[in-house]
Structure 1
Amino acid sequence: MPIDFYYLLISPPCRAVMLTAEAVGVKLNMKELDIFKGEQMKPEFVALNPQHCIPTLVDGDFVIWESRPTCSYLASKYGKDDSLFPNDPRARAEVERLNYFDMGTLFHRFGEYVFPVMFRGEKEFNPDKLERLQEALGWLDGFLSGNKFAVGDNITIADHTLLATVSTIKEANVDLSKHANILAWLEKCKAEVPGYETNQKGAEDWGKFFKSRCNL
C-alpha cells in the first residue's frame, strides 16, 4: 500500500521526514496541504489527525504526526540497518537528544525570532531573540566539534532534523559565519545526504516567503 504523506515543502519538519524517507528508500505518496488556505481543517484530514497539523504520515492503518517520531518510525521500520537510528542505547540517546534540542531549543528560538514579524504584526525583529538564537547555534556548533555528522561519522535522523532547520535559518539571513563547525557540516550534508536538493529548494522557497511577509 502507498504511504501517504501530507506536507508543505516550505515546512522544515516536513522536509526532515522527506529526508528520512529518501534515506531508507521509501517512496511517499505526496499530498500537499496548504495550511495558509486552511486545507488542514477539511473534515477528511481532521478525521486522520485531530490536531490537523503537518507533517502527517499514513502507513496502512497507522497514522502518525510530529516530524521527529515520524523520522524514528521510518528509520526503524524501513531502514536496512540501524545506522540512521541506532539500537545501541547510548548512540540512540544522542540522536534523540539532538532531535529534542532541535524541537525545544533551536527551532523554538528560531520561531520566537521570526514568527512575530511574519505572522503577528510586529514591525521589527527583536535583537534579544536573535541573541538567544545565536546562543543555540553556538551550542550546536559545539556539539558538532570533532564529528563528521551530528552523531559521529555517519548520517542519522538527527542530521535530517537539524539540516531542515539550519538550512531554513540560513535563508532567514541569520549570520552563521561565527559557527565554523555548522558551516563545515552543511557542506558535508550537501555532498552526502540523499534528498539534499529537495530540502534546499524547500528552504529557498521558505526564504522567499519569509522575505515577502517581512517586506525584505
Structure 2
Amino acid sequence: MKIYWIRAQAPRRVLALAKHLGIEAELVEKDVVTGELKAPDYVALNPNMKVPTLVDGDLVLWESSAIMAHLCIKAGSDMWPAQNPAEQVEVLRWLSWNDCHWSPAVGPFYFEHIVKATFGIGAPDRESLRKKAPDLLKCAEVLDGHLENRTYVACGRLTIADFQLASMANYWRESEMPLEPFPHIARWIDELKRIPAWADPWPTEAAAQSGRAQHA
C-alpha cells in the first residue's frame, strides 16, 4: 500500500488514521513547488492533481474520506462502521456537512494562516477574513450545540468524522478563527490532540526521505 501526501490538512487526517490504526504503508511525499502533482505518472493516479492518493494493489483511491473508510475496513476498525448501516448514515451526515458547510467556513482562515506560511506564499489577508467570519460563526454554532453533551461527533465514539471535521479546525488558534465563544468545539479539538497519532501524524524525516528516494 502507498499513500501520497503533502503537509496539508487532507493528507493529515489520512496519515493520522493510518498511524492510529497501525497500518503499514509506503508514505510518498510529493513536492508541490516543483510540480510533482502535475507529473504525468501522478496525474494517471489522481487526475485532480491533489493529495492524498492511496494505491492498494489494483485499487487507486482519492478523496480523503473514501481513503479513511478503506483503511478502516482493511484494519477492521469501527471508526468507519462497515457493519452498521445506521451508523454509516450518521457518519456520512457529518462528512457531508463538513464538505458542504464546515470546510468552506474554516478553509479561508486555514489557507491564509497555515497554507501560506507552509508554502511561503505571502502574509495572511486578514481584511478578507473579516468578511468570512459570519459564515464561520453560523456553522460553529451548529457544531458547538451538537457537541454540548458529546465527546465525539458521531456514534458516541471516535470516527473518521472527527478527523475530517478537525483537520483544519485543529489550527483554529494559529489561524485566528473566531471560535472563542464556542467552548465545546475547543474542548473537542483539545481532546483529539490527546490521541498520539492525531497530535503527531507526520512521517519522520527519515521515512519521508525514503519514500521520496524510491520514487525519484
Q: Same fold (TM over 0.5)?
A: yes
The alpha-carbon distance between structure 1 residues 126 and 184, as it changes in their structure 2 partners (threshold 3 A), is closer
Structure 1 consecutive aligned stretches of length 4 or more whose deviation exceeds 4 Å:
112-123
- Residue 116 and residue 187 in structure 1: after superposition, are their counterparts in 2 closer, same or farther (change >3 A)? closer
1:77 to 67, 74, 86: 74
Q: Offset of 1:127 from its aligned partner?
A: 2.1
Q: Helix, strand or coil for the counterpart of 1:30?
A: strand
1:99 is aligned to 2:92: no
Residue 125 of structure 1: aligned partner:
128
1:21 aligns to 2:18 (yes or no): yes
State the partner residue of 1:141. 144
The answer for unaligned runs of 5 or more in structure 2 is: 204-216
Equivalent residues of 2:110, 2:171 under 8 A apart: no
Structure 1 residue runs of 5 or longer lacking an equivalent are: 202-216
Say which is worse superposed, 116-125 or 23-32, in terms of deviation. Answer: 116-125
Q: What residue number does 1:177 align with?
A: 180
Question: Partner of 1:48: helix, strand, or coil?
Answer: coil
Instruction: Give the structure with the higher percent helix.
Output: 1
Q: CA separation in 1, counterparts of 2:122 and 2:96? A: 26
RMSD (Å), alpha carbons: 2.5
Matched, 1:150 2:184: no
TM-score relative to the length of structure 1:
0.80
User: Is the CA contact (8 Å cut-off) linking 2:20 and 2:198 kept in structure 1?
Assistant: no
The aligned counterpart of 1:198 is 200
For 1:139 and 1:50, the matched residues in 2 are separated by 34
Q: How far has the Cα of 1:115 moved from its partner? A: 4.8
State whether residues 79 and 158 of structure 2, in contact with CA within 8 Å, keep that contact through their aligned partners in structure 1. Answer: yes
- Contact 1:14–1:54 (CA under 8 A) maintained in structure 2: yes
- SS of the residue 2:27 aligns to: strand
Q: Deviations over 1:31-87 (max 9, x none)?
A: 1112233210111111222222111111111110111111111112222x4x21123
Q: Secondary structure at the match of 2:173?
A: helix
- Do 2:106 and 2:169's aligned partners in 1 also have CA atoms closer than 8 Å? no
| CA 1:187–1:113: 2 relative to 1, 3 Å | closer
> CA separation in 2, counterparts of 1:94 and 1:194?
26
